[in-house]
Structure 1
């Protein structure tokens, strides 16, 4: 089975996750709009979500997967199962303590995370954020065990279940938004209950997948015995610096959320919805490629095959540029259409579209950097080199905050998004230079020729977007243009009432996107690109 097919499988399931995530956010926008209470929810949701990304999916995955892959190749099955028992037991006990301390310290955590909510006029939002954070804090325990299960399943090359389970969180939140709001004095509290239900559902599905492989760990409270395992100590030792090295963007988001609470009401919500749109290409391409690359890079390192290692990096980076650059252009030139189509209903007005759009355009500037980090960082972690990414991460984190000093006074919340994007680009550049200097990665392909063949397709797609945008006003109630007329005709056949938002705008957006795909991939074919150029065997 080819790596491209594995990445496509993950991307397809991740697409389902992102579609249900969009449906979730559309419902939230339509029901609650952009208000102090929605800001409170996104702050509360971001705290356990940030910890999940920092410690579970970020540091833990990057430290755990290479070492587990090495153990699987070198040790008998029984010893590998003992390692899984020890890691799962230590992880569970540690996260139970973190969860307990987090629930107790929630008011202080919210104050640090969103200091703007401590102002007297924001007292209601602060109390709501505190309540919802306490309810959702155990989510970090669920998701850390999910990350453990995902690491095992990915090492055994079972990619589908880990890619699918985020759908369960979105479904749980959608159901909570539709059916549970009436049971709470503050309706938005229902979303916190939905988050916890989604976390439990994800953990259940992953544990069943481990059971099918006979790899369910035997949990124990005897953490001293687990700590005596030298391999467990290696994983913990790797996790410390990896927390910063992998998750620099998340730390920047944490700081940016705090800054956003001092800006206009709704800023946190606008950034959250813009981040949701950015996650589409990030997850479909960056996360999918990073997931399939890490085990393969670890295997190449174990075999001391430097050429295969560099060829894998080439493969990942070429796909990033070939698919990431049109995605960045689409986000930049089609931001109005994306935001209006997905969120401009109910309580989410045209002003909210304008402010969210500016954040989407700012994120688009750094999309290639964000995607490239997902390929370049595993280049270090597969070789268990933690120090270099940590040094780079510290430099990038400081640089990002200096960029905030420049851009936030000029662009408000969009300045925060721009700083994140530019910081990620700087991170990718530094990682690339580090890989080259250490001779970990030596490019194998003909890169200048690759970009020369790519340029015409990007130019033609940009021309199509500039041309078609002249004839579309995305926020107009009843636009009178040819493409909207086609969209309205198709939506009339389908039936508007079958959806939670008018179909005509969605059909219009799909027609524009189909046009982008036809132009871009048609020119790529004319320039000589073929599928076999990007297919690698495992």
Structure 2
């Protein structure tokens, strides 16, 4: 398996989506600011996204991809894999339709449950309910996108699924450009853009699957052996993802009880934090799951462990500098990207502090994405459920302990600490079972990567002091400041990492020789 190539395809196209996402957030921050209407939209957008992760990306992929791969690489080949897909789809669509309908009817009660802090402001509460009803069908659409993504990823065709989120960002960008007035009008346009983006993504993935030779027929739901096997695997994964998503909703509950703008601060900081998480962690996790599943099915656990080891090496090489950089230059980055219009310097200052705290958990977020395929490939979705349950309880306790004294910063700290707790527990369990251990050479490599990161931190601190007010200056000054940070940080980190052995120098030299030969 060419792990770098697979990750490059996913990560590169994910980066395209993130660029559009940043454009969307930059425009939204200036039009909406950290206002009550912005908070209302962000809660409404979080609801379908929460259940998307529950029913779609995480749990569905964990159950579907290994089982599809088994059939595709088995004696039945593509025909057996298509039959299995049709059987699962026959249950998937009615379940999503019923779930969406129930929540559309009960939306006021649900919004009250997770955002009761808005109940004292009737206008804000009603706007949140209204926007949530517009955005919630996105759940059905994006869950079907995840279904077709699972098929394409199992066939190691990653491009369409990686690019699809860009369509959502484009739809939301268009909504902001059409209705740039701010307030409830722009919030409503954004909500419509969310659902429109879901339709665009589904069209892309359905067509990509059809072009890959997977044209599925609609069947009547039947509890076949394949469907039973799927539910045996996916229900624990859904429970595990459910515990994690409940944790996300708990964060929303606490954030809505904090001063106005808190949801916005959390959103914009998370946008920057999600960039390396999606480009590195999600890309690697998506790339390695089908390959680990194949090695496990072939009875080659050593090869599966090798894939995970290479993934940890690559993820830390890219993730450690991102986490350290975000912690050091969070303030200038937030100011350069989001400050302006209705998003004030104080809004940027608070968001930067939140980002610096959340970024401290970034390596753990990424490692979880790399570690969990070791469980899912073995059809073990129960263990992540148990660890997620512990993390949920820890999150609640930390929120109650930290938020009264530290406000939004306490909420951010709880998020980071819980990510490390989840990472450590999952790794210890996988290691004790003998499925995967970080070898001494890899520990040494990570230590060298961290040393290179510290050298980068010193360089970034110097750039930050030198450029001073550029990050809140003109467009040209902001662009130059961000490019200086990225360029200096990247050059120092990778040069030092190369010199002290923080990366596979032989592989890099071979790659360079190949390029010269061309």
TM-score (norm 1): 0.91
Tell whether 2:202 aligns with 1:203.
yes
1:468 corresponds, among 463, 468, 471, to 463
Residues 203-352 of structure 1 correspond to what in structure 2 (within 5 A)?
203-220=202-219, 222-223=220-221, 225=222, 228-246=223-241, 248-352=243-347
Q: How far 1:422 moved relative to its partner?
A: 1.0
Determine the C-alpha separation between the residues in 2 that align with 1:132 and 1:377.
34
Taking the aligned partners of 1:413 and 1:162, their CA distance within structure 2 comes to 34
Residues 118 and 435 from structure 1, CA distance in 2 versus in 1: closer, same or farther, beyond 3 angstroms? Answer: same
Report the Cα offset of residue 323 of structure 1: 1.3
Describe the shift of the 1:532–1:158 C-alpha distance in structure 2 as closer, same or farther (beyond 3 A): farther
Please give the alpha-carbon distance, in whole angstroms, between the structure 1 residues aligned to 2:459 and 2:186.
44
- What is the deviation of 1:185? 7.1
Aligned position for 2:434: 439
2:377 is matched with 382
Q: Distance in 2 between matches of 1:515 and 1:475?
A: 16
Cα distance between partner residues in 2 of 1:216 and 1:301 = 28
**Deviation digits for residues 451-487 of structure 1, max 9, x if unmatched?**
3432431221111122222233347755xxxxxxxxx
Q: Deviations over 1:386-435 (max 9, x none)?
A: 22211111111111221112221232112112111110111010000000
Whole-angstrom distance in 1 between the partners of 2:423 and 2:24: 31
| Larger mean Cα displacement after TM superposition, 71-80 or 87-96 | 71-80
Choose 245-254 or 403-412, whichever is displaced more: 245-254
Alignment partners' CA distance in 2, 1:205 and 1:447: 39
CA contact (8 A) 2:22 2:271 kept: yes
For the 8 Å contact 1:294–1:378, the answer to whether it is kept is yes
Aligned to 1:483: none
Alignment of 1:39-78 (within 5 A): 39-76=39-76, 77-78=78-79
Match of 2:289, SS state, is helix
CA distance in 1 between partners of 2:131 and 2:43 (Å) = 9
In structure 2, distance between residues paired with 1:332 and 1:216: 47
Find the aligned partners of 2:75 and 2:508 in 1 and give their Cα distance.
Answer: 33
Separation in 1, partners of 2:210, 2:389: 40
Partner of 1:134: 133
Separation (CA, whole Å) in 1 of partners of 2:263 and 2:232: 35
Q: Does the aligned pair in 2 maintain the 1:244–1:393 contact within 8 Å?
A: no
Distance 1:204 1:532, change over 3 A: farther
For structure 2, which runs of at least 5 residues remain unmatched after alignment? Answer: 510-518
CA distance in 2: counterparts of 1:445 and 1:137, whole angstroms: 48
User: Contact conserved, 1:246 with 1:377, CA < 8 A, in 2?
Assistant: no
CA gap of 1:515–1:214, structure 2 versus 1, over 3 A, is same
CA gap 1:534/1:441 in 2 versus in 1, 3 angstroms:
farther
| TM-score normalised according to structure 2 size | 0.94
Evaluate the alpha carbon distance shift between residue 263 and residue 530 of structure 1 in structure 2; reply closer, same or farther with a 3 A threshold: same
Q: Which residue of 2 is the match for residue 364 of structure 1? A: 359
Aligned to 1:519: 492
Residues 97/519 of structure 1: CA separation in 2 closer, same or farther (3 Å cut): same
| Contact kept? 1:249, 1:424, Cα under 8 Å | no
SS at the partner of 2:466?
coil
Matched-pair contact (CA < 8 Å) for 1:369–1:422: no
Measured after TM superposition, the shift of residue 85 of structure 1 is: 1.0
User: Aligned partners of 2:184 and 2:241: how far apart in 1?
Assistant: 40
2: CA distance between counterparts of 1:108 and 1:264? 22
Matched with 2:512 is none
Match of 2:14 in 1: 14
Cα drift, residue 70 of structure 1: 1.0
C-alpha RMSD of the superposition: 1.9
The alpha-carbon distance between structure 1 residues 128 and 474, as it changes in their structure 2 partners (threshold 3 A), is farther
C-alpha separation between the residues in 2 aligned to 1:73 and 1:280? 33
Residue pair 1:341, 1:474 contacting (<8 A) in 2 also: no
> How many equivalent pairs are there?
507
Give the distance between the partners of 2:472 and 2:265, measured in 1 at CA.
Answer: 22
